[in-house]
Amino acid sequence: QSSLSDEHLTAVAARLEDEDEDVRLAALGILQAQSSLSDEYLTAVAARLGDEDEDVRKAALGILQAQSSLSDELLTAVVVRLGDEDEYVRWAISDVLQAQSSLSDEFLTAVVARLGDENRNVRAAALGVLQAQSSLSDEHLTAVAARLEDEDEDVRKAALGILQAQSSLSGELLTAVVARLGDENWNVRAAALGVLQAQSSLSDENLAAVAARLGDKDGDVRKAALGVLQAQSSLSDEHLAAVVVRLGDEDEYVRWAISDVLQAQSSLSDELLTAVVARLGDENRNVRAAAFGVLQAQSNLSGELLTAVAACLEDKDCYVRKAALRVLQAQSSLSDDHLAAVAARLGDKEWHVRWAALGVLQAQSSLSDEHLAAVAARLGDKDGDVRKAALGVLQAQSSLSDEHLAAVAARLGDKDGDVRKAALGILQAQSSLSGELLTAVAACPEDKGWDVRWAVLKFLQAQSSLSDDVLTALGLLLQSVSTSDLVEALLRRFKEFHPILLNGPVVEPSFKFLLRGSFEEQWSWYVIDKTSYVNMPEWVGSSSIDDRREYMDMVKRARQGIPSTGCNECDGNPLASSTIGEGSGSNVGVGSDGGAVDVDPVGAHEWAQGIWAEDWQENSLID
């Protein structure tokens, strides 16, 4: 029954004194099944903690462990049992006490008294109770620190665990902790370092003792010592010297942790950096890598140190060469000799080394012509990332010669879209470009990405004037649906474009472009004698024709492939396949005498079959 009356519970509690242990155990089972118990019944249960039968003691503890809080009277009975001969009971008692949110100083003093018990297990159980407390008085902490000299290593380690939980310790307590750094047991040494790492600040004397542990024979202790040093905002040269020595540690984690400690320092003395540079010659590539990591964090290395770093650019290990380049890239300035050594790596057989070398050069705003020539040569590199990095170097320069700009313009035809964009970005940044370069820009291959073509046209639109060659190259883009809107804007802006539009190699793409446009506006394109005209709402353009027949043949070729109107009467009629009158308003044709003829949009096909058909087909190109 989960809820018995007081009368029944009183009768059950009376059986806790029964001479038969099974009956006492059964009575405890009934009480444990109740949803709640009064202090009167819990007191009777606590009395069983001293029962001669082990199972009865354990059952009584089980009931007490299930209570969220216990009265001081009950806790007094519990504390007494910390010295129980049964190990299970001791640890269960410790669990009961640890479950309490807080214990009074009186109870804690009783627990501390158990720290001197001759039984190591009792001492350990008492320490477990104290460790669960968020704060302890100096008196109690002093009693805990006394256990740091305990003969049992587990007790010493447990005492350190309690001290580690404290936010700050007195100098006297820290001295006792530092003494444990020399403990014969590596677990205790590591635990002592854990206590020190939890402190907000440590004296130079204590840090010196910690740094001495960097040479500990146990790897975990060395790691723990590094943890303490990493937690410090700054370290003295003496401590850092001890750290640098460990860059050659056999443990990879220790080496990288050492590197982290050194990199965290805002600046290192030349003496320390010289010791780090000495590690660049270590036979272990991981040691060299750790040393490079330290040097990379320094932005102002001396010329002598940089020379030692630059020497590593000839290392047979490509990752060492790359690491050396990263150190050089981090420097605020480099001498010509160092830059020459970097430029030599542009021919490295490994692409990522060439890429890293370009990263160093990109940080320089003004490179010599010799270095720029070497960079420009990388624009033809087989690796796209290297080509893009080379463009990044050129973009970082304050000015570029026409020769270098021509090499950049050649990348507008690169197979890599990112490279094409980077090349265009450089050209767009120039205040002015020669006609030759503008022609190269306008000729950006049609089969490349639409975003590049779009950017090209926007760039050309921003120019104050364009040459005939540029305009011709631009006109060839008229056949692209994705760029025709921008080409149209250019067409309407540059009036000198009109003759080019109406004659030469641009006739065929112009036909398709104007045909599309006539769906939306009143456009006409016609020929009178040897002059070609385009009539748009805002202007009329014209161009002389050298050979009318050849010109009309080009137009007819342009008409090929354009879907027919679907009119059976007009099958095979070139005019019917190119005339777009329906829905476009009033259309204007030109007769053989050059006069204007109004054409009814709906009756255009019948009209086209009349006597004017031949002249119309030859004279009116788009209406």
Ordered DSSP codes for 402-467: HHHHHHHHHGGG-SSHHHHHHHHHHHHTSS---HHHHHHHHT--TTS-HHHHHHHHHHHHTSS---
User: Angle 21-32/39-47 helices, nearest 10 degrees?
Assistant: 150
Closest CA to 151 of 119, 113, 194: 119
393 pLDDT exceeds 90?
yes
346 pLDDT exceeds 80?
yes
132 pLDDT exceeds 90?
no
501 pLDDT exceeds 70?
no
pLDDT at 549: 83
Mean pLDDT over residues 18-46, rounded? 90
Q: How far apart are CA 202 and CA 224, in angstroms?
A: 15
The amino acid occupying position 404 is: H
According to the 3-state scheme, what is the secondary structure of 455-499? Answer: HHHHHHHCCCCCCHHHHHHHHHHHHCCCCHHHHHHHHHHCCCHHH
449 pLDDT exceeds 70?
no
Q: How many CA atoms lie within 13 A of 402 on its CB side?
A: 8
pLDDT at 264: 80
61 pLDDT exceeds 50?
yes
pLDDT at 65: 79
Of 496 and 466, the one with more pLDDT: 466
- What percent of the chain has a predicted confidence (pLDDT) above 70? 82
443 pLDDT exceeds 80?
no
| Beta carbons within 8 Å of 356's beta carbon, 6+ residues apart | 321, 322, 325, 326, 329, 345
pLDDT at 46: 83
Minimum mean pLDDT among 275-284, 448-457, 497-506, 593-602: which range? 593-602
| Beta carbons within 8 Å of 467's beta carbon, 6+ residues apart | 435, 438, 439
Mean pLDDT over residues 364-384, rounded? 93
pLDDT at 582: 29
Cα 272 vs. chain centroid, distance in angstroms?
32
pLDDT at 436: 77
pLDDT at 216: 92
622 pLDDT exceeds 60?
no
Of 556 and 607, the one with more pLDDT: 556
The amino acid occupying position 325 is: L
pLDDT at 542: 80
92: confidence class by pLDDT, cuts 50, 70, 90: confident
Mean pLDDT over residues 414-440, rounded? 83
According to the 3-state scheme, what is the secondary structure of 190-215? Answer: HHHHHHHHCCCCCCHHHHHHHHHHHH
Strands 531-535 and 540-544: antiparallel
574 pLDDT exceeds 50?
no
pLDDT at 427: 86
pLDDT at 611: 30
- Mean pLDDT, the chain, integer: 79
484: confidence class by pLDDT, cuts 50, 70, 90: low
Mean pLDDT over residues 598-622, rounded? 38
Is there a contact between 383 and 351 (Cβ–Cβ < 8 Å)?
yes
pLDDT at 378: 96
122: confidence class by pLDDT, cuts 50, 70, 90: confident
Cα 501 vs. chain centroid, distance in angstroms?
50
Mean pLDDT over residues 333-337, rounded? 92
355: confidence class by pLDDT, cuts 50, 70, 90: very high
555 pLDDT exceeds 70?
yes
3-state secondary structure of 134: coil
Minimum mean pLDDT among 2-6, 146-150, 187-191, 372-376: which range? 2-6
User: Angle 369-377/384-395 helices, nearest 10 degrees?
Assistant: 150
Mean pLDDT over residues 223-240, rounded? 87
Could you tell me the two tokens for 548? 């009318």
pLDDT at 489: 66
pLDDT at 86: 76
